[in-house]
Chains A and B, each alone.
Chain A
Amino acid sequence: MAAAKQKAVVYVRLKDGVLDPQGLTIQKALSQMGYKEFVSVRAGRFFELEIESNGRNIDELINQVCSKLLANPVIESYKVEKVK
């Protein structure tokens, strides 16, 4: 029997208060294009993960990799969404 795969999406964003030059630049570009309605843009990234847990606690594993590698806790926070 093949091991069951779980999917999860991890969203990583800069914490409030951390300057996001990329988001600012995008916001300025939008404004120049005439879209003055978009007064703030903050950029982030997301990861699509496929996990073969082999009986281990998936939530715990995901949190481990998020705090160790996918996000830098000094400047970033993350949110996990499990995909059914």
Chain B
Amino acid sequence: MKVGVVTFPGSNCDYDAYAVMKHVLHEEVEFLWHKSTDLAGSDLVILPGGFSYGDYLRAGAIARFSPIMEAVTKFANSGGLLMGICNGFQMLTESGLLPGALVRNSGIRFRSQSVYLTVENTETTFTNYYRPQEVLKIPIAHSEGNYYNFNGDIKRLEDDGLVLFRYCDQQGNVTKEANPNGSINNIAGIINKEGNIMGMMPHPERAAEKILGSDDGLKVFESVRAALTTRLQRTTAGKI
């Protein structure tokens, strides 16, 4: 697969995502500059974490108007795989590619720590390598990770199985105490109804090798690779 990692001014997890793809999964990967309008033939586009444009105005609010976002939106709207991590998730909600909004953590403070997550839906492009309700240890680092949406929209997300990850304790119990930022229903990551756009606040790219303390995040990328391989095989078969 070919992966494009977008670099915005202020991105700081772009190299982490790049390293996972290149050195852990040995896949083709390149950086896409925010001023470019060309996705370089990427099968998967990653909007990485960081503080694009200094988080001015609202996190992700200015990055979503970067020149490259028009191409990214077109790519995603035609079924291309798009993943936003942390600041990337904020860009996805700001641009309306994913529903809801990420507002200030309920405790006001920046939270930088390891958290536990349960995998709520394993039948997606981004989670098919996980077991249902598998508990993951993955770091977070954000001030605006408090997932907010209207009651009706939350119900729709829940009913359609679009919540992929929830904050939980080490045993997998979804509790108020295990919620680091006040997100409704402990939501840590969601997917769109079409199944090709995913956003999550925790950083799977920072938990993709044992030496980093956890490799629980690697399966996100392995899931995408597996899904893409199947998809590419189907496309090729279709052409013959």
Residues of A at under 8 Å CB distance from B? 14, 18-22, 25, 69-70, 72, 74-75
Contact = CB atoms under 8 A, between A and B. Distances in A.
Given A19-B182, A69-B61, A74 B106 contact: no
Contacts of B146: 19, 21
Contacts, number: 36
Contacts of B149: 74
B108 interface: yes
B103 A18 contact: yes
Contacts of B107: 21
B148 interface: yes
A18 B182 CA distance: 12
B61 A25 contact: no
Contacts of B101: 72, 74-75
Contact of A21 (B93, B94, B100, B108): B108
- The dominant DSSP class at the B interface is loop
28 contacts: A14-B103, A18-B103, A18-B148, A19-B103, A19-B106, A19-B146, A19-B182, A20-B104, A21-B104, A21-B107, A21-B108, A21-B146, A21-B182, A22-B104, A22-B108, A25-B108, A69-B57, A69-B61, A69-B65, A70-B57, A72-B58, A72-B61, A72-B101, A74-B100, A74-B101, A74-B148, A74-B149, A75-B101
B105 interface: yes
A21 B61 contact: no
Contacts of A70: 57
A75 B57 contact: no
Nearest to B181: A21
Interface string B42-71: 000000000000000110011001000000
